[in-house]
Amino acid sequence: MTARKEEVGPSGLASALVASGALQSHWLPTYKAVPRDMFVPDRIWPGIADGTRQNPVVDRAKEPGGWFSAVYSDIPLTTQWDDGTHTGDGLGKTPSSSSSQPRMVFSMLADLDVKNGLRVLEIGTGTGWNSALLGHRLGAENVISMEFDADVATEAQENHRNAGLSPLVVVGDGRVGYPEGAPYDRVEATCSIGEVPRAWITQTRTGGLIVAPWGTPYGGEAIVRLTVDGDTASGPFTRSSAFMRLRQQRPSRPPHDTYLKGQAWPADGDRSTTGLSPADVGGWLVQFAVGLQMAEAFWTVERYDDGSYTLWTYSSDGHSWASADYEPEAVSFEVVQSGPRRLWDETEAAYVWWDAQGRPDFERFGLTVDSEGEQAWLDSPTHPVPRVG
């Protein structure tokens, strides 16, 4: 018996999204009325924009079938590189705008829990598909979308017009929100953040929701669903995510040579060994759990032809670094650390804590934001995640 071939197109994607639980029945009429292909440019780069799972450019004029198939696949589509300065067919340095993965789009809309009459502020218009979905569901007059890139905003507005929708698109810095339209019942960010802007909280009604991808400088990211109560917002993470960072919150990291101060490795570092493999801290979830505990730290990997690599960890202030050498089949790994922070020791302590808690997934963590800052927690706000170092 021959397996039934999955239908390529809006119906096939809808079936997959419904089966996954992302596309709820009350969103299905809106999905059908606001087709994704009306919000995707002619040139796209399908797949995850991490340099390893990114496909070559697909040009609608040259490959109409391939373009249509990509649009109605459950994958993200990069639509801009390097803030618009990269115009070639190849991959740019940094993806800067996209059409998000449909499963994530509708999962976040489910988290947003919109109802008729609610007002929504969206941060990150992109191609305009998400704001169009919200506009169709709630009425365009109840949706305001902010986009920092004027060219991207213009294209989104054209897409809205072609779809017969007219949510307000504002060109500006999403961190400050749009006070002219406040208060909002919902705020949704379609770009990732490392810090929840205070303006989003002050412009949201008490009882309202903020839904946004949130991650630490170290790595890992998840969707946080915050309920606003006055000047405080608190709530759980709902699922893993991987979005492009809000432009004004992109990290500015010192180069590698800043840490070694012109000396050859190991410079002034202290040598030791560890039984914790660098590979054990490389997963997205582990990065998230470690990053919640290690303030202002980040890492890079230097890979070698034999399958070994060096995991470099740095402090954002440029004063501390650690290297951990991974070799296949090894049970002990060489570590070098330098500076006032013992960054590998911090990494180990963070990993040990996460492991001792039963290796909790994203959904067991949460976040509280108030006038004093942000505090991650495990299972309950009364159980704050400790800081190491």
d(CA 317, CA 314): 8
Write down the catalytic residue from 73, 100, 145, 241.
Answer: 100
Place of tokens 């450019």: 57
C-beta of residue 170 within 8 angstroms of C-beta of residue 164: no
Is 234 a residue of the active site? no
C-beta of residue 338 within 8 angstroms of C-beta of residue 322: yes
Place of tokens 């008490």: 206
Active site residues: 100
